[in-house]
Structure 1
Amino acid sequence: MCGWTASAAHLCPDAAVSAPPPASLTLACLALLVVSAGPAAGACPPRAGHQPLQVLAGSSNCSWTLERHTRSYNHLEGDVRLRRLYSANKFFLCIDKTGKVDGTRRKNYADSLMEIRSVSVGVVAIKSVSNGLYLAMSKKGTLFGSVKYNPSCRFKERIEENGYNTYASLRWKHGGRQMFVSLNGRGKPRRGHKARRRHPSTHFLPMLPS
C-alpha cells in the first residue's frame, strides 16, 4: 500500500514482502499521504482574513484576479496625444488665450491643437497647446479655459458606437445626468446639461495634426 508513494518509501516496507505491515506503520504512511496531498507547489496561500480570489491560470506568482485586472490598465495613465477635436457638426474645438471656448472650421488653427492627457483610466485632461489653458466645465455646464488644472478639467472619454468620442464632465452632473462637451450647428458651445450622449453636437473625432 505505502509502496505507491515514492516520498514515503523510507517509511514503508519493501513491496516484495508479502506480510502486511504493522498497523502503526500503516497509519504513519496514511498521514504522510494526507500531508503530501495538500496545496500544490507554487499555489497561493489564502490571505489572512480574506478568501483568495481565483488565481490566474499559468501564473507563477501569487497574483489575484482583481489585482491583475487593475494593474493591466496602468499603462494608460500618463498617455499624451496631440489631436484636433473635430465635431460631427464639422467644427474644430478651440480655446483662445482669453479662455473662450469656441468652434472653428479652420483646419490648422493654432488654438484648436490640443494635448489630451490620460489622468486615470478613461479620464482625460484637454489642454490647448498654443496658450496652455485647460478645457474646463463649470457647475452650470459652461465650457471655459482654465489657467490651472483642477477637478473641473477632468472629462470621461468614451468611444461611441459610431466611432466618435464623447467627453463628459467627471466632476459635475445636472439632475443626475452627465454633462457633455458640445458644439452646436453654428460652432458655439452648448451648456452641458442641454447635450445628450447621442446628440451629434457631443461627438468628436480626435484627428492627428497635419
Structure 2
Amino acid sequence: MLITMDAHLLFPCLMMLLAMCMDYHCADANEDQGNQLRGLWRLSMKDPKQKGVPPPHPIRGLVKQQLLYCRVGIGYHLQVLSNGTVGGVHEPTEHSLLKVFAMKRGVVGIRGIKTGLYICMSQEGIAHGAVQFSSDCLFKESLEENHYTTFSSLSHPGIYLALSHKGEAKRGTSVGRLQPCTHFLPRRAP
C-alpha cells in the first residue's frame, strides 16, 4: 500500500515538474525572440542609408491619437510643427495630436500624427522634430507621485522634455523632474 501511495504522489509531482520545464522553455524562447528583434532593430538603426534600406519605422499597428498636457503656466498641449519646432499650444490643434509608442518597458518614442515627425532631444537639451527615428528620439517615461508623467532623454540622462510659461520648448538641461514644466498628462484627443 505504501508503494501505490508513493506512485500516486509521484505522478502529480512529475506532471508539475514537466509543466515547469515547459514554461521555462517557453520563457527562454520568448526572451530569445525578443533579443533577436532588439538586435535587428539596433542593426537597422546604425546606418540605414548605407545599406540601401529605408529608415526604420518603429510604430506598428493601430495609431491612437492622444494629447500630452503640460500643467505649466495656463496649461499647454505639446505639439510638433511641420518645420520641426516643438512647443505648446493652449487649445489643442492638429499638430498637438501625438502617438506615444513603447519601444521597451519604460522607454517610449513620441511622434506627431499630422507631421509624421519624431520628437527628439539633442545633447544640448533642445527638443526638435526629426523625420528619421534615432536614439535621440527615445525617452524614459516615468510616472511621478502626483500622477503626471515626465519624459527624460534616454541617450542624454538628466535632460527632460519641458515647456516654458509661454508654451515654448525649454532647454532640457536647465530643468529637473520635480518642476511643473516637465510634468505631462496624457489626454484623449477630442
Same fold per TM (> 0.5)? yes
Map of 1:29 onto structure 2: none
> 1:91-133 deviations in whole A, cap 9, x for unaligned?
11111100011111122x1111101111111111111111100
Map of 2:187 onto structure 1: 207
Gaps of 5+ in 2: 35-58
Tell me, in whole angstroms, the C-alpha distance in 2 between the residues paired with 1:78 and 1:161.
Answer: 31
1:41-190 aligned within 5 A? 41-44=14-17, 60-62=19-21, 63-64=23-24, 67=27, 81-89=64-72, 90-107=75-92, 109-173=93-157, 178-190=158-170
Amino acid at match of 1:5: I
Gaps of 5+ in 1: 8-32, 46-59
Of 6, 23, 33 in structure 1, the residue corresponding to residue 4 of structure 2 is 6
How far apart are residue 40 of structure 1 and its match? 2.9
Name whichever structure is richer in helix by fraction. 2
- Where 1:179 maps in the other structure, the secondary structure is coil
- Where 1:42 maps in the other structure, the secondary structure is helix
- Where 2:151 maps in the other structure, the secondary structure is strand
How far apart are residue 78 of structure 1 and its match? 5.8
Map of 1:52 onto structure 2: none
> 1:33-54 deviations in whole A, cap 9, x for unaligned?
8xx97x9313448xxxxxxxxx
Higher relative contact order (CA 8 A, sep 6+): 2
Q: Percent identity?
A: 29
With structure 2 as the length reference, what TM-score do the two structures score?
Answer: 0.72
Of 145, 168, 172 in structure 2, the residue corresponding to residue 192 of structure 1 is 172
